[in-house]
Amino acid sequence: MANKINSKKVLKIVLITYAIVIIAGIVMGIVAGLRLDINFSGGARITYSYTGDVKQEDFTTAIKGAIDKDFSVSKNESLAGDTKTYTINLSGKNALSADNQEAITTALEEKFKDNKIELYDSNSVSSSVAGSFFAKSMVAVVLTAVFVVIYVGIRFRKIGGFSAAITALIALILDLAITFCTCIIFRLQIDSNYMAVVLTILGYSLNDTIVVYDRVRENKKYYPHLSLNDNMDLSIGGVISRNIVTSVTTVLAVLTIIVVAEIYGLTSLRTFGIPMAFGLLSGCFSSLFVAGPLWVCWKEKSQNSSKKK
């Protein structure tokens, strides 16, 4: 029989940790605000190509001296390394005006005379289009959550499908909260990369939770005398090594992406890798020590209520 773990005790520690990170994210968001990509807030995106070595700090400083608008800068490079670009995201209405673009171009050409600064691409996103994109992204997340409840509810109906589905959903919500707060704390831009992270974490965390529920269902058949809590502790003890090893292996791969992003200053990879790494770690712990223990608490409370009646 596998080693047992006091999952309820660990649940308290994990929830306190989640609370600290979420509160820190909320405070940081209130103080410093959110950094939203123009796909969510509306605005303009202007991309310049260059040659040689152009530091992002110098590039940003040049733009600050040219325009009086909120903006962010991201660095990109083709896989072949033959095209290096900086993308400027300008928020607000009328961000892509001729005066703004001309002022930026002039400032960059004067600052980096030897780097062949050229306008590579430019486009704008209206606030209505940005709102539509945000709404569609939220619909995708909500539909995924609904399918999670339906799938888990049907698959684990023998151990109380609805309760198992709801506690799995709570764990997923905590995972998404962690990824969101990570973006705020690390001052990362919330863009389409973040939505890719959200959908990936939903699937990854759900898979880990299903592994735990599967073991609970098996142990219920092999050890029918066990209480709900003992069954859960035994089940978590049986899969914890597998879940942790899988998560650590995946996180190491994501850390490679983060290291590459930091070395080459690739902002687009950074906004994907950092929240993904924290989301994967959160998914590992939430599937083991949030979904399962909460399900036990739910079932025990329901049983006690039935006995009183």
Q: Which of 95, 92, 86 shows the shortest CA–CA distance to 118?
A: 86
pLDDT computed for residue 158 by the predictor: 81
pLDDT confidence of residue 10: 93
Q: What is the pLDDT of residue 79?
A: 56
**203 token code pair:** 């699937």
Residue with structure tokens 């989301």? 279
Average pLDDT, 10 consecutive residues per value, the chain (309 residues): 76 95 95 83 86 90 86 75 82 73 91 91 77 80 84 84 90 94 91 87 89 92 90 92 90 92 80 93 93 92 73
CA 150 to chain centre: 23
Q: What is the dihedral of CA 91, 96, 102, 105, to 10 degrees?
A: 60
Asked whether the domain spanning 43-125 has the same topology as the one spanning 7-31+129-303, the reply is no
pLDDT at 307: 67
pTM: 0.82
The hierarchical CATH code for the domain 43-125 is 3.30.70.3220
| pLDDT computed for residue 290 by the predictor | 95
Task: Of 287, 237, 280, give the one whose Cα is nearest residue 258.
Answer: 280
> So where are the chain's domains?
7-31+129-303, 43-125
Residue-by-residue DSSP string for 33-85 = ---B-HHHH-EEEEEEEE-S---HHHHHHHHHTT--S-EEEEEEE-TTSS-EE
CA-closest candidate to residue 203, choices 151, 163, 242: 151
pLDDT tens digits, one per residue of 2-59: 456 889 999 999 999 999 999 999 999 999 888 888 777 778 888 999 998 888 889 9
Task: Enter the CATH code of domain 7-31+129-303.
Answer: 1.20.1640.10
Q: What tokens does 23 get?
A: 């509160």
Which pLDDT value is given to residue 283?
A: 93
Helices (H), 55-191: 56-64, 98-111, 127-155, 161-185
Q: Residue 80 has what pLDDT?
A: 57
Give the model's pLDDT for residue 4. 67
